[in-house]
Amino acid sequence: MDSKFNNSNVEALLKIAAGKLNMKPEVLRKQLEEGKFDEALKNMNQNDAAKFQKVIKNPSALKNMMSNSQAKDMYRKITGKDPE
């Protein structure tokens, strides 16, 4: 794994994101691993939650977003897999 994006960096990122969503980091991690975002969406502001839902429900928008090389790299570093 890239030394710039190691496990401690992932944990720090989860802590920051969970803090902004008023969630526990372990809950956010579990939801991300399971592809379930219900609890996180409840804690997002309505505008951001609507944008997220729109992208998730639109396969072409999601594909377009994931075609970005930075998004692909982040996905690989977090999951250890290539995006499909």
- Is residue 2 pLDDT above 60, yes or no? no
Q: Which tens digit of pLDDT belongs to each residue from 64-82?
A: 777 888 777 777 776 777 7
Is 84 contained in some domain? no
User: For the whole prediction, is pTM greater than 0.85?
Assistant: no
Q: Are 37 and 47 in contact (CB under 8 A)?
A: no
Query: What is the number of domains present in the chain?
Result: 1
Q: Which residues, 6 or more positions from 7, have their beta carbon under 8 angstroms from its beta carbon?
A: 1
Is 21 contained in some domain? yes
- Is residue 3 pLDDT above 50, yes or no? no
33 is in which domain, residue-wise? 3-79
Residue 6's pLDDT band, with cuts at 50, 70 and 90, is: low
Is 42 contained in some domain? yes
Is 19 contained in some domain? yes
Tokens representing residue 16 in the block = 């920051």
Q: Which tens digit of pLDDT belongs to each residue from 9-62?
A: 778 878 888 888 888 888 888 888 887 877 777 878 888 888 878 877 887 877
Is 11 contained in some domain? yes
Length of the chain: 84
Residue 4's pLDDT is what? Answer: 53
